[in-house]
Every structure is written in structure tokens, then in C-alpha cells.
Amino acid sequence: MPPTALFVLRRVAQLVPVVLMIAALNFVLLHLAPGDAADVLAGQAGHATPEFVEELRREFGLDRPLHARFFIFVGKVLALDLGRSPIQQTTVAKLILERLPATLLLMLSAILVATVLGVLLGVVAAVRHNKWADRLISVAALVAYATPMFWLGLMLIVLFSVYLDVLPSGGMAKIGSGYTGAAYALDVLQHLVLPAATLALFYVAIYTRLTRSSILEVYRLDFIRTARAKGLPERSVARHALRNALLPVVSLAGVQLGHLLGGSVLVETVFAWPGLGRLLFDALMQRDVNLLLGILFVSSVVVILVNLLVDLLYARLDPRIVYK
């Protein structure tokens, strides 16, 4: 078996117990909280009798003891059945699948913008090292890194949506517009600009600084001097340098995915973006444990898978990496 395949297989095999452990720990954590979905539903109904509430508990299996519910939960997870949300009255899987594309779209756009823009600015800064362009970019990056994401989002709404009125204030697409195909894509793109920009800015700053320092570091290394001594054109040298410099950027991108999911909670709230981040927050406030566990489970799996992809990408970029 080729080493790549073995590597992947081993990592996937490690995945299962980790994910199960995550699920178990999430479960315990969430059940520490006082109050449950039956309380919330009864409260929303306005005037509920104790029988009503007990009935709800029985409906959703909330009256069983904790360990019984835990085993039911584990069983379901293994069967990939994420259960049902009592508060939203549909299956968890359906809710997650409805919102997942929106979050993925937002996160991937943000990562793309952040990476491209970040690397570009980082290269410029490194090349124009210690000149005014470098200083400007570095300071801007520092400030961007220190700016709270939600605050930035609100300011952008006020500027672009209210005063300038060039971009929509929220949502993913214009309701009832009936757009299809290219028109729909354009509409979504318009709605995507501000939230993606807000989410991306923080990471643009990180990638800019990382790329810059990485390039500067690499340029000092021996193999660059060797390449130059051999008479390779500068462009070739640059390409080698970039390839090496990008390694930390790639590995960081994978790690940042987790942070991006956290940031998406804030950004999705401010921009009413119909994604998982906001769903998670609402589920938490409503004690919708099934939904919460489902979201945390799915996001953990996604993070692990992305880390796996990143490791593979890393290995391709740097053939010196030997799989243990």
C-alpha cells in the first residue's frame, strides 16, 4: 500500500474514537445545564400545566435517567442518527443540512479572500521590506488583528448599507425575487460581500504577517543562497522561496478553520446569515440539546477532516515530510 493511503487510513481510524469522545464530552457538558427543552417549549406555549410539561418530557425522552439517555445517544451517533429537535419540530440532520451550505459558503469565501489577499500583501511587504509599503501593510495588519469582528461588521453595515446604500444589510438573498442561475448567483454574491469581508479581515492580517515573516526567513536560508550561486533566475528562486514560505500558512489555515466557525457565530448574527453559527447560538439559548450536539458533532468532524486535508497538502508541498 502506498504510504499516502496508509497515512490517510491511519488518520481516519484515529478519527473514530476522537469523535466519539467529543460527542460524549459534549453530551455530559450540555446536560450539566439547568432547565431543558421541555421547560423552554412550555414557557413558549404561555400557559402550561405540569401535566403538559411532563407530557412534553415524555415525548422527547427527557424523563429518562442521564445514563440511559447517554447510551441512546451514543447508539444513535454510531448509526449516524442525530435525532430530532423538539423545539424546531424537525430532525436535526435536516436542520443542519439546511444551514450547512450557507456557513460553508461564508467560511470558504472568507478563507479564500484571506489567503489570497494575505499572501499577496505579505509578498509585497516582504519584497518592499522596510520601505514605506512594508510599514503601512504591517501596521494595517496589526490594527486589523486587534479589531473585534462584530464591531467591524456593524460599522460596515452602517457605512455600506445605510449611508451609501450599495450593499444589502443582511440575509443571503433577496426574498421572493425568483432569481435563478446567474442572477441568483449575483444576488448571493452581493449579500456575501460584507459578511465575508468582516470574517476575513482578521485572517488577512494573520496571513499577511505570516507570509511576510516566512518569506523573509526563507530568503536567508542556505538553499536559497545555493540556488542563487548556481545562477538560477530570480523568478525561480522566488518560486522556491514561496513554496517553502507557504508551508506555515497552509498549516495555519487548517487550524484557523476552528476559529472561523467561532467567528461565524458573531458574523452570522450581525448579518442575519442563515448558517450553522447562529443556529448553534439559538439552540444553546433554547436548551435544544439534540440540535446542539448535532452541530458540535458535525463541526468537529469537519474540523478533523480539514486538518487531514491540510496535512496531506502540507506533505505535497514539502517532500521532506516523512510519514511516521
Partner 1 sequence: MRGLRDCWHRYRRNRLAVVAAVALLAVMSLAVVGPVVYPRDPFEMVGRPFSPPLREYPLGTDVAGRDILAGIIHGARVSLLIAITASICAAVIGVIVGALAGYYGGLIDDALMRATEFFLTIPSFVLAVVLVAIFSPSVYSVTGAIAAVSWPSVARLVRGEFMAQRVRDYVQACFALGMSDRRVIFVHILPNTLSPVIVVTTLMVATAILTESGLSFLGLSDPNVVSWGYMIGVARTVLRVAWWMAAIPGVMIVITVLAINIAGEGLNDALNPRLKE
Partner 2 sequence: MIKRELAGLMVALAVLLAAVAGTEAGEPKRGGTLTYTLHPEPTALSTIATTAIPVATIASKIYESLLEYEGPFLTPRPGLAESWSVSPDHTVYTFKLQRGVKWHDGTPFTSGDVKISIEKVVKPYHSRGAAYFGQLERVETPDPLTVVFRLKQPVPYFLKAFQPTESPILPKHVLDKLDLSDAKSVRQSELMQKPIGTGPFRLQEWKRGSHIILERNPTYWKPGRPYLDRIVLRVIPDGAARAIALENGEVDLVPMSSVPPAEIARLAALGHVARSDKGTEGLGPIMWLEINLRKAPLSDVRVRRAISLALDRKKITNVIWFGQGKPATSPIVSGGQYHDKSLKPFEHDPGKANALLDEAGYRRGPAGVRFKLVQNYQPYGESWVRQAEFIKQELGKIGIEVETQSLDFGAWLKRIFTDWDYEFTANSSHNYADPSIGVQRVFHSGNIKRGASYTNSMGYTNKRADELFDQAAVETDGAKRERLFAEIQQILREELPVVPLMELDWIQLWNKRVHGLITNGISIYTGWDSVWVE
Binding region for partner 2 (CB under 8 A): 33-37, 39-50, 52-55, 58-59, 87-90, 95, 98-99, 102, 154, 157, 161-162, 165, 168-176, 268-272, 274-275, 278-279, 282, 284-287
User: Which single residue is written with the C-alpha cell 415525548?
Assistant: 59
| Residue 87 contacts partner 1 per CB under 8 A | no
Q: Which is nearer to partner 1, 48 or 224 (CB)?
A: 224
User: Residue 201 in contact with residue 147, Cβ under 8 Å?
Assistant: yes
Among partner 1, partner 2, none, residue 296 binds (CB under 5-8 Å by kind): partner 1
Q: Residue 204 and residue 194: Cα distance in Å, rounded?
A: 15
Span from 1-9, 154-162, 174-182, 315-323 in contact with partner 1 (CB under 8 A)? 154-162
Give me 20's grid cell.
466519539
Q: Is 173 left (phi over 0), alpha (psi -120 to 50) or beta?
A: beta
Distances in Å between the Cα of 266 and the Cα atoms of 215, 269, 290 are: 33, 5, 22
Q: Which is nearer to partner 2, 165 or 222 (CB)?
A: 165
Selected binder of partner 1 within 116, 158, 185, 189 (CB under 8 A): 158
**Rounded least distance, CB 183 to partner 1, Å:** 30
**Rounded least distance, CB 147 to partner 1, Å:** 6
Among partner 2, partner 1, none, residue 201 binds (CB under 5-8 Å by kind): none
**Rounded least distance, CB 104 to partner 2, Å:** 14
User: Which single residue is written with the C-alpha cell 497552509?
Assistant: 250
| Residue 210 contacts partner 1 per CB under 8 A | no
Q: Residue 53 and residue 38: Cα distance in Å, rounded?
A: 6
User: Residue 145 in contact with residue 205, Cβ under 8 Å?
Assistant: yes
**Residue list 6-25, contact with partner 1 (CB under 8 A):** 18, 21-22, 25
Within 10 angstroms of residue 46's Cβ, the number of other Cβ atoms is 6
Within 10 angstroms of residue 322's Cβ, the number of other Cβ atoms is 7
Among partner 1, partner 2, none, residue 118 binds (CB under 5-8 Å by kind): none
Burial bucket for residue 231 (CB in 10 Å: 0-12, 13-18, 19+): exposed
Selected binder of partner 1 within 5, 80, 175, 220 (CB under 8 A): 220
Among partner 1, partner 2, none, residue 266 binds (CB under 5-8 Å by kind): partner 1
**Residue list 249-278, contact with partner 1 (CB under 8 A):** 258-263, 265-266, 269
**Rounded least distance, CB 101 to partner 2, Å:** 11
Tell me 86's DSSP state. Answer: T
Among partner 1, partner 2, none, residue 303 binds (CB under 5-8 Å by kind): partner 1
Q: Is 145 helix (H, G, I), strand (E, B) or coil?
A: helix
Q: Residue 103 and residue 265: Cα distance in Å, rounded?
A: 10
| Residue 70 contacts partner 1 per CB under 8 A | no
Among partner 1, partner 2, none, residue 147 binds (CB under 5-8 Å by kind): partner 1
Among partner 1, partner 2, none, residue 91 binds (CB under 5-8 Å by kind): none
Distances in Å between the Cα of 285 and the Cα atoms of 69, 172, 189, 299, 314 are: 21, 23, 31, 19, 39
Selected binder of partner 1 within 29, 78, 185, 186 (CB under 8 A): 29
DSSP sequence for 150-195: HHHHHHHIIIIIIIS--S-SSSSS-TT----HHHHHHHHHHHHHHH
**Rounded least distance, CB 105 to partner 1, Å:** 18
